[in-house]
Amino acid sequence: SYSFAFGCDSKMADAYLIKSLDSQNTVCEKAVDKPSSIASITKLFAATALVDLGIDLEQHYKVKPVKGINAGRLFVNKLYSGNELLHLSLMSSSNLAIKTLANQLDESIVVARMNSMVKEIGLTDTSFVEVTGLMAENKSTASDIAKFLIYLKNNNEKYQAIFRYSSSNSLDIPFNKKVHHFRHTLNEINQNIVDSVVAKTGWTNAAGRCLAMIYSHNGHDYIMVILGSKNVKQRETIIKWALRSG
């Protein structure tokens, strides 16, 4: 493996790991065991815990305001299906959507499941305090996240909703005689450049720009984890370099 940079230098991200799932060969890596904040990649773990806990995705739930959480484009007091809320959590990274689902079971129970789940999988440097990723205390490593993505892939039938919604390009939800269009957060770097199987972006000041993704390229499956990229352009450069190298 090698850790030089995508046509420039490895300062483009604090940590990254790109690995072939077919050959298990590492394409490139940097600081894969360094714990750091992971922003909304947290939502992938939260969604997995929600499925484990048996959240009813067919049920409709009223979105209520939550202190400190921006509603974004969700309508407060509107009923959304569990499927819609999970879709918006993973595709559009809606903090209020994942919070609404977690609150149906009690967020503390969901967080406890997230933390017990990572121990079961063997992720020794991953821990959570809440479900959105807004708090810097939600931490993991590129290596742990890659192992988690492999766990998801090995259990794709159980977690098929996570695969479907995290790789979805868009969702239309009718409300008040209008159709409200939601897009994947990867669209900010043109999602068409990569054929994702699972994809979750993240961003906070503490975490920088992050990405956890399983993608297909030239008939092969790869894992890509990027933590602490400085901006969208640098993250896109890493993605494009990986596609040229695959």
pTM for this predicted structure: 0.92
Residue 62 scores a pLDDT above 80:
yes
Q: How far is CA 5 from CA 11, 27, 59, in A?
A: 8, 12, 47
Express the helix, strand and coil content of the chain in percent, nearest 5 each.
40, 25, 35
SS3 call for 22:
coil
Give pLDDT tens digits for 182-232.
888 776 554 455 678 899 999 999 999 999 999 988 888 999 999 999 888
pLDDT tens, position by position, 99-154: 999 999 999 999 999 999 999 999 999 999 999 999 999 999 999 999 999 999 99
The span from the CA of 90 to the CA of 94, in Å, is: 7
d(Cα 161, Cα 53) in Å, to the nearest integer? Answer: 14
* Cα separations in angstroms, 235 against 83, 90, 102, 115, 240: 29, 19, 30, 28, 9
